[in-house]
Amino acid sequence: MTSIHSTRRSRSFASQSAEMAMAVPQVVAHRMVRMAAAGATPSQTDRDEFKLMSDEKVAAFQESWAAMATQVFEVQQQMAQQMMKAFWFPLLQRPPTLRSVERQWRNASFGILGKGMEPISRRAIANAKRLGAL
């Protein structure tokens, strides 16, 4: 992987983090006000919103773990393929430098984290728009 690819991936991760940093507090504040206003006897609309809120969290968590597991599998496959090439064709491969190995692990980490944040970020931003918080 090139350093340009690494930069794009980290920017994507950074932009997802920034978007979530803006959306999540607004959604939480909106829902907390709604819960407080509903009091001890929330309306059916409030109960539906509260149920949707908890269902979304469970679904986002499951999607996030599935996306990260898939990305981990893909990274393992890529690394195994590189190791097999180095084993079977040692004269055709340059030995990896410490810098290239570090870059590969960093890219893999950002890729896994980014995949895990996608479902959560997508839901948080959609909720902020739906609730009029953004």
Asked if the structure places residue 109 within a domain, the reply is: yes
Asked if the structure places residue 57 within a domain, the reply is: yes
Asked if the structure places residue 13 within a domain, the reply is: no
Cα R_g (the chain), whole angstroms: 21
Q: How many domains does the chain have?
A: 1
Asked if the structure places residue 59 within a domain, the reply is: yes
116-130 tens-digit pLDDT: 999 999 998 888 898
Answer for the pair 27, 128: CB distance below 8 angstroms, yes or no: yes
Helix intervals (H) in 39-97: 44-88
The closest alpha carbon to 65, from 110, 20, 116, belongs to: 116
Asked if the structure places residue 70 within a domain, the reply is: yes
Answer for the pair 131, 27: CB distance below 8 angstroms, yes or no: yes
* Low-confidence spans in the chain with pLDDT less than 50: 1-3
Residue holding tokens 């918080």?
133
Asked if the structure places residue 37 within a domain, the reply is: no
Asked if the structure places residue 31 within a domain, the reply is: no
Asked if the structure places residue 96 within a domain, the reply is: yes
Domain of residue 115, residue span: 50-134
38-54 tens-digit pLDDT: 989 999 998 998 898 88
